[in-house]
Each structure stands twice: as structure tokens, then as C-alpha cells.
Structure 1
Amino acid sequence: MDAHIPESGPHPRRRSLLQFAGVGSAALLSGIGVPGTAEAAWSGERIPDDPFRLGVASGDPADDGFLLWTRLAPEPLALDGHGGMPRASFDVRWEVAEDERFRRVARDGLARATPDLAHSVHPRVRGLRPGRQYFYRFHAGRWTSPVGRVRTMPRRGTMPASFTFASASCQAWYHGWFTAHRHLAADDPDLVFFLGDYIYEYAITAANLWRRGVTLGEGHDHETVTLEDYRLRYALTKSDPDLQAAHAAAAFVITPDDHEVQNNYADETSQYGISPADFRLRRAVAYRALYENAPLALEALPDGPDARLHRRLTVGDLATVNVLDTRQYRSPAEGSILGAAQERWLLDGLRRSDATWNVLAQQVAVMHVTDDRVDQWDGFPAERRRLLDTFALPSVANPLVLTGDTHRATAGDLLGDFADPDSPVVGTELITTSIASDGDGADHDQYEQDWIQHPWVKFYSGRRGYTLGRLTPSELTVDFRAVPYVQGDAAAPVSTLARFVTEAGRPGLEKVN
């Protein structure tokens, strides 16, 4: 059934997935491509047009495989949220090959695209070789998707010579073109960390539609509230060709921030006065739409308003990546941004890690900025102290925090005690700017002084772009990449605003250009 959930109504704290989300177990199993569950679908209906207009994607790579994603949507902006698809199930065939022409197919299979999940599929591919590039595509009816490429991770017990990554966040479609994604794709990273605000929930109006040269039909001029609304906003965002190019170029590791649901929410609390019961409904449909439109594992499919979004990835023995969720368990009253269980998971994992680099992929600034900035780790000083104390342990090698949220590019040292500017440096934080949110931006803006007043802040820019990093056993090199504008058109060039190096075993950023 189609779950159109309103703002109000009774809601038990948790219902089973099948009751609340309206997703049958067969739909789940076939959508992830479990062998033997995707027998030929016969609905008597045909796919009316090219269904791959939202592109393809991969995510969360392991040393033997990765997740694949596509969503059948011949009419992506259909107001009912079903992308122009009939309310029937369709088989989607996927292929993974060692070559771009698919002459050497390594794995293939079937997944079922059902209306329950907006005709999205999320097959998990396994049995591949580590540290290799592969190509993938989908087939549905007589249609074939664009080709994507993806790399498996190096195997544990091996030390790769290098690993490249990009980090990006904050892509309000209406504020500008996604030109930065095209340049990111051309830089060909091994992996992309998307650190929140993949969509924005606000109404799109004449006042905030700064992306010039576009017109919108009906359905976008109100805040996203229902499942259909969120599906439509994802479709609008994912229709951008440069975002599709970035997804096709590398696997994405996606973690949401606030705007995938509502600005500045914390757990079950809306800052706009929505009751906790009603807000749970809002969060449930928002998380479900996130799953439907991202290369996420089955664990991320929400059970009511709850989804398992924090997880851990490894890059051989070079890096362990802890992907955090700083929204779902946040409690300002209890002084926790992670929640007790996720904090234990994180700190225990850091203490046990034997990786050369220990990476956090998360949403909001860890470094101290201002005491009144409660929507960052500044608002949770005791939990930050426990994190920084863990970073300072001799057994926790080379902590690196990747952050989004601020729409500004910032590089800083993480101190053991921000109250003492002379305390030791225990890690590095790289805050990526926005892809488009807040429009063109500028080299300097009204928030700059809040940041650069601190000696631990080494770089600040208000331009749009992304961060490109390279890890080796001996050092981290990072480039802050930026475009001069995003509002006018999608033709802006890219440049490197600054480059920094951190040597393994010697925490602290050194600017090299």
C-alpha cells in the first residue's frame, strides 16, 4: 500500500516494519536481490518510458562487494511520488563487470522493484575481488541504465599505498547548480562521503529559487511533510545531471543531517512546535524516503521512525571509518549528541582500532566555535571531552573528523582541551562547504570572525565546492576545491583554494599552498 502519513494522528512508539511502513517481507527481500526471491514478475503492464532518469548509484563498499541502487522513474516529478510507474512490481536485472563494455561479467542477478518502495532496488553484491574497480548497470523491460563505476575496498591485513576520498554536503537544489559534483566526478575519488542535507524540506518559492534558468511545475511550493512530498523532493534533487555523474563515478557513503527531515530537529523534538507523536510520523516517512533514494543497506530501512544509520567501514589496514548519526539520538537535556549506545559503540571501536587513520564521517563541527552554537558539538561539551580524551589515547592513531553542515570550508586542529589553547593537538577536522546551499557564497562573510578568532582554525572560505583528500600510510593531503558561483549556470570552473598536509604520528595541519 502507499503510506501517505499526515502530520497528526495516533502513533504507538514502535510498530513492526510490516504494519507501519506497509512494506511486505517479499518486497524487501526481492528489492535487495536475495537469491531465489526475484522470480519473473508478471504484472501485465509495461514500463512506459526510460525508467532510469534518476541515474544509478553505489554505496558502502566492502572488500568483497558493495551496494547498488537505482529507482525506476520514467516521470520523476509525478506528484503521487511514484515517478510515473504503474502500481505493479517489475524485475530489475543488475550486472557487475570488470570492464566497461561488460564482456567480463563478474556477478549478476535480479531484484524486484515494487511500488511499496517507490520502485527502488538495493542489491548487495558480494564475491568480488578486493581493491578493484568494477562497472555496473541495470536492465528493466527493454531499457538499460547508464553505467556506473565503483571500487571495492582493500582487504584487511593489507596496507594500500593510497586512498582518495571526497567529502560533500548541503545541496539545496533551488539555491544553485550542482557544478561542484561534476568536478568531483572528474577528480575520480575512490569514495565519496556525503555528510548530510542531501535534500532540503523547505517550500520552493520565487524568493528562494536562485538556480537561474529553471522553471518548476506544481507540487514544490510547500514544505515536505508526506511520503509523497519527500519522494518528490528527492526526485527533483536527483534529477540534476552533475549529481548523477558523481554517483556514477564512485560509491557514496551517505549519512543524513537535519534537512532530510526538518531543520534543527533533535531525536523526536521539532523546534517548530510539532508534538513528539506527530513528529515521529514525520521522521518515519522522511527516513523511508531517504532509504528509497540512496544506496543504503537494509538496516537503514526505518522501523517506524527509527533507522540504523551509524556504521563502520574499513580501508584495509589504512583507515577505519566511523559513520555517525548526530540527529536521531540527540538529547540537549541529557547533554548527548550521539546517545549513550552510539557513543559506546564509537569510543569502544576507536580504542580497539589498529588502523593507521581513524576517521569520523559526521555532520556538525566538533571544534570549538562559540559557546552559544548549540547545534554543534559546542552544545555537548561533556560528550566532546570524552571523544577528545579518546583521541588523545596513544592507541588511537591519527584521528580525522570529516564534517559538513556549515556551508563554509574550514580546516582546524582538534585540541585536547579547547579551554586551553596550549593543550596538545589530538586530531584534525576538515569541514566541507556546501554544494549549493546559500547560493554563490564569498571568500569572506559575516561568520568568518567567529571561526578565525581561534588559533586552532587554519582555513576558512565561504565558497561552494567539496573537499578532496588522499590518505597514505605516512600522511593526509587535503585540497579544498571550490567554484566561483553556482546560481547563474552550471559552467563554473573549479580551483583549489588551499592545500594542507597532516603527517601520520604528528597531529596538526600544515598549509602547503
Structure 2
Amino acid sequence: MNNLPLSRRSVLAGGAAVGAGVAAGALGAPLPALAVPKARPGRISYPFLLGIASGDPSPDGVVLWTRLAVDPLAEDGFGGMTAAKYDVEFQVGLDEQFRTLARRGTKHARRDEGYAIHVELTGLEPGREYFYRFRIDEHVSPVGRTLTAPAAGAAVSALRTGIVSCAQYEHGYFTAYRRLAEDTPDLVLHLGDYIYEYRAGAYVASGGNPRDHAGPETTTLAGYRQRHAQYKADTDLQAAHAVAPWVVVLDDHEVDNNWAGDVPEAPGNAGVTAAQFRARRTAAFQAYYENMPLRRAQVAKGAQMKLYRRLGWGSLANFHMLDTRQFRDDQANGDGTKPPTAESMDPRRSIMGLEQERWLYDGLGRSQATWDVLGQQVFFALSDFSPGAAEVYNMDSWDGYQPNRDRVMNAFQTRGVANPVVLTGDIHSHWANDLKADFRDPSSRTVGVELVTTSITSGGNGSDRPSFGPTVRAENPHVKFDSNRRGYVLATYTPTELRADFRSLAQVRTPGAPVYTQASFAVEAGNPGLHTA
């Protein structure tokens, strides 16, 4: 397997003394390059078929990840690995050739952890680029590029982020991930639906599915491990992981469609009890942690997993990553697209849970960054699907929890958040929305903006037809753009401006489609609102 050819970018602003690391080897020491011993009979075959990744950068470190597999689709979920544990070497270099090493060490890949490796590095320099790789016996992994965050409060000239969501393996090829890698972002935010739980053929895109899931619908740990491995084995996805650190949060399909707290999609369906659903959630969460570059703080504890967390990028941005699935009240009105009722408008209901709400409002109040970015899952702005006086909303989105949205919007204003940005996935289409103090009054103050990324593949090729026709669009004047093509969003933050490029592909049914910028918007710091760029 060839190493991914990576384009180096300028070292980011910032610098500080280096502390103690997690492994032997001082920063900058001229250690020898990674030796590749001769193959020995009886050893395993190439085990890095699931690629490598990094994530959750801090000013002094980052998480490195890999998971061993020689047979990714093995039904037992262990990827063809047989021993109790394997010793895996990791190296972190200052250059792609690893002429100078910053860190090196060994970690155990254990069977009870799905043969996943998480290296939680500390003691690195803030705001700089690193390269990393793994080795076991004679086998060397691809090379990954990663970044540490700038020091807290440090001036940063620019940050380029990729925003992605919703990759249904069966609905198309992951070309959008490859194109994102070619755009060389500094950070990738994945907002959910990294995998889909369905058995082959249960969820069919328009025109049919060009490829199939392996295994049944995921309900067990072995099944979730197998499904994650099938996705991770895709080389386009591997390219996107290898180019930059990722920050991930899950939505519903990593567990079960439209689940809410302890409630599955169809309570009581086929005799599924609350206890059985919690067991499914426990399996899904363990597999999710095993397959993502997450810190120890995110290790699943049974059916609980703390995914909401905050990451800073110098003085430029704070990323408040939210979990709108695990702690929400069940969808109102039986879910679906419905008129509002007393239930959906009940101020006691929350999509975040009260503890997470308090955490968010406290963080917004303490933030000193230019941009406060909420990375979350479901459509945030009001979205009225009915023309005329009648109102119809999606109960699975923030429209089904309007008082909770009002509390967040109020916090933007009372906590002095000058430049709030909400990032969203879930709905398989691009959107650019102004966030209004009163969505029902177009002349009311614009408080912030929402950028919604389309899917990587979910829904198939899509089309140029917008989601809202002219009549319904008139009901939602805060919507500035929408498109049903597949792709991702590139968002570039500077101290004076946010630029959002909506990147789209014409089709995903065959590999290799080119990417193009379908629309671009800018937001001036201190002057919330979308302007055509």
C-alpha cells in the first residue's frame, strides 16, 4: 500500500516550550528513520487496511488512531485478528520523511478493544504540523498529517475547515471525501451519520444502490465493528482522515434511525424493550469509540458517552461540539413533519438535556474567541414546510424543540456572542441560513448564521432542484441558499471574515466525479448575516 501523497501547509501561528511526552524520544532529536525488518514466517499479513487517523487537537497534543484488521469484513468483528494483543509502534515526525522525530513509542492493540489504538499525545508544540505512522513487524502504515491547535489566546491568521455528514456506503462512492482531502483543510468536523445501520437493500437511493452493506442490520458489538470496518476500508475515506485531524460527533445512524435518549425509532417494534435498546446503544457507543480518534474522556460507559466538548483554536474560534441525540426528549407529535402542538412547544422539553444546555451557555459566556461555532446534528433555523398561514415543522429538528432553540438564541445575545455560527448535517442537502431574533419577522435582527452541509452520499446523486419551491421559500426568507447535490462545506475563518464554500459533485454512483463550488457566502466579523461572496 502506498502512502498518501500529502501537500504541506504553512506552520500555524503560535509557539511554546515543549513538555513531557507519552513516549520515548525528545522533540527534535535526530532519531533514525523507521526500520523495516524482513518478513518472518507465521506473522500476520498487512494489518493497516482500515487506515489511520488523528483527532481532537489541543495546543500540546492530538489523538492518533489506527485499528488492526487483515479481514475487515470478518463477521465476528475482530477483522481477522486472532491473538490477545499486538504491539504496535507509532512515530510522530516533524517532516513527511521522518528525518526528525517528535515522539515514538509502543501501544498494545487488544482484542477486547477491537484491536484499536488510541495514542493521546501531549508535550507537542502548539500551532504546528506533524506527520505520523504506525508499524507492526515488517508492516508500515500510510503516513498521516495532523496539526496541533494554536496556544490559547494566540493570534491566528486563518483556519480552513471541512464540514461533512451522512455517508451511506450503499448510496454511492465516497468521492467527496477524496475531494475534501485534495482541498487540504486544517481541521475536519464530522457532524454525524458516519455509518448507517441498515442491512443491505433496506435503504435504497433513487436509481438503486451501487454497492451493498455487509452483514445484517447492526445491533450487536460484532455487527457495529464489522460495519465501521467496511466504511474505514474505503480508500477515499482514508484519504480524508489522513490529511488533517477530525473532530467527530454522532447523530442517529451510528445507532438507530431517529432515536432519542432511551427511545428507539419504533418503541416496542418487533418486541424491542428499553433494556434491549440500551444494550444496542452500549454496543454502538463502544464501536464508535473504538473507530474514532477520540480522547479517553469520550470512552463509553455502558449506554452513556460524553461527546459534547469544547475545542479552542487560539483567539480565532471556539468549537462547541454538541450531542442532540443522547439527552433529548422524545420527538413530539409522534415524530415526522407535523404542525406544532402544546407538546412540541413545551418549554420543559430539550433537545440537548439541561446539563448540556448549562455547559453550552457557560462556555459561550466565557469565550473570548472571534467566532463561536456550534458543531451539531439537526436543522437549527425555523423551517416551515407549509405555504400560507398554516405551519408544519420537522419534529426531529430544532423546530420540534422551539423553546430550547429560543434559549440558545437568547444566550447568543445575553452572553455577548458577537459571531455565532451553527454547523449542521443530517438532511442530505446544502443550506445557508440567517438566524433571526424572530424568524417570523424578517425585519428582526440577524443574530448569527447556520451552514448546513449536504451528505457525502446519502440519497444518491441528488439533483439541482432545491428543497423548497418558490411558495414555501417565501415562507422562509432567512434561507439564502439550498441545493440537493452531494458534497461538503469548506469554511475558512479569519479575524475579519468567515467564508463558506458549498462544494458539490454532480454524481456519486460511479467513482471519480470532479468537485465544484456551487455557492459561496461571506460573514463579516461583528456584522452577522450572509452575503454572497
Superposition TM-score, scaled by structure 2 size? 0.85
Aligned length: 469
**2:237 maps to which residue?**
243
**1:401 maps to which residue?**
422
After TM superposition, give the deviation of residue 127 of structure 1 in Å.
1.1
**2:81 maps to which residue?**
85
Contact 2:200 2:212 in 1 (8 A): no
Contact 2:170 2:211 in 1 (8 A): no
Unaligned runs of 5+ in 2: 1-20, 25-39, 333-347, 385-391
Per-residue CA distance 1:463-483 (angstroms, 9 max, x = gap): 000000110000001100001
Cα distance in 2 between the residues matched to 1:135 and 1:212: 37
After TM superposition, give the deviation of residue 298 of structure 1 in Å.
1.4
Per-residue CA distance 1:342-388 (angstroms, 9 max, x = gap): 00000111011111100000001110013431100001111110100
Contact 2:523 2:531 in 1 (8 A): yes
After TM superposition, give the deviation of residue 130 of structure 1 in Å.
1.2
Contact 1:47 1:86 in 2 (8 A): no
| CA pair 254-106 structure 1, distance change in 2 beyond 3 A | same
User: Which of 402, 405, 411 is residue 390 of structure 1 equivalent to?
Assistant: 411
**1:26 maps to which residue?**
none
**2:379 maps to which residue?**
365
Cα distance in 2 between the residues matched to 1:105 and 1:212: 45
| CA pair 95-229 structure 1, distance change in 2 beyond 3 A | same
1:343 and 2:357 aligned: yes
Secondary structure at the counterpart of residue 182 of structure 1: helix
Per-residue CA distance 1:221-252 (angstroms, 9 max, x = gap): x2111111111111111111110000000111
After TM superposition, give the deviation of residue 47 of structure 1 in Å.
4.7
After TM superposition, give the deviation of residue 76 of structure 1 in Å.
0.6
Pairing of 1:461-476 with structure 2 (within 5 A): 461-476=483-498
Cα distance in 1 between the residues matched to 2:500 and 2:394: 27
Secondary structure at the counterpart of residue 343 of structure 1: helix
**2:325 maps to which residue?**
327
Superposition TM-score, scaled by structure 1 size? 0.88
One-letter code of the match for 1:404? G
Cα distance in 1 between the residues matched to 2:156 and 2:210: 45
Contact 2:150 2:156 in 1 (8 A): yes
Superposed CA RMSD in Å reads: 2.0
Per-residue CA distance 1:79-120 (angstroms, 9 max, x = gap): 110001013201111111000000110011111100001100
Pairing of 1:21-170 with structure 2 (within 5 A): 47-170=43-166
One-letter code of the match for 2:245? A
Unaligned runs of 5+ in 1: 1-32, 37-43
After TM superposition, give the deviation of residue 453 of structure 1 in Å.
3.7
| CA pair 48-350 structure 1, distance change in 2 beyond 3 A | same
Cα distance in 1 between the residues matched to 2:234 and 2:474: 34
Contact 2:169 2:211 in 1 (8 A): no
Contact 1:284 1:304 in 2 (8 A): yes
Contact 1:46 1:141 in 2 (8 A): no
Cα distance in 2 between the residues matched to 1:170 and 1:45: 42
1:225 and 2:246 aligned: no
One-letter code of the match for 1:287? F
Cα distance in 1 between the residues matched to 2:474 and 2:377: 20
Cα distance in 1 between the residues matched to 2:118 and 2:311: 18
Cα distance in 2 between the residues matched to 1:422 and 1:389: 17
**2:505 maps to which residue?**
483
Contact 2:365 2:415 in 1 (8 A): no
Per-residue CA distance 1:159-194 (angstroms, 9 max, x = gap): 101111010000000000000111100111100000
